[in-house]
Amino acid sequence: MTYICHCQSPIGPITLASDGEYLTNLWFDKQRFDRAGLGEFVEANLPVFEETCKWLTVYFTGRDPGFLPPMKLSGSPFRQMVGQIMLTIPFGCLMTYGQIAKEVARRTGKQKVSAQAVGGAVGHNPIGIIVPCHRVVGTSGSLTGYGGGMDRKVFLLENEHVDFAEHGLFVPTKGSAL
Catalytic residues: 133
- Which pairing describes strands 95-96 and 136-137: parallel, antiparallel, or unpaired? parallel
DSSP secondary structure string for all residues of 21-54: SSEEEEEETTSTTTTTT--SEEE---HHHHHHHH
Closest CA to 17 of 65, 82, 67, 73: 73
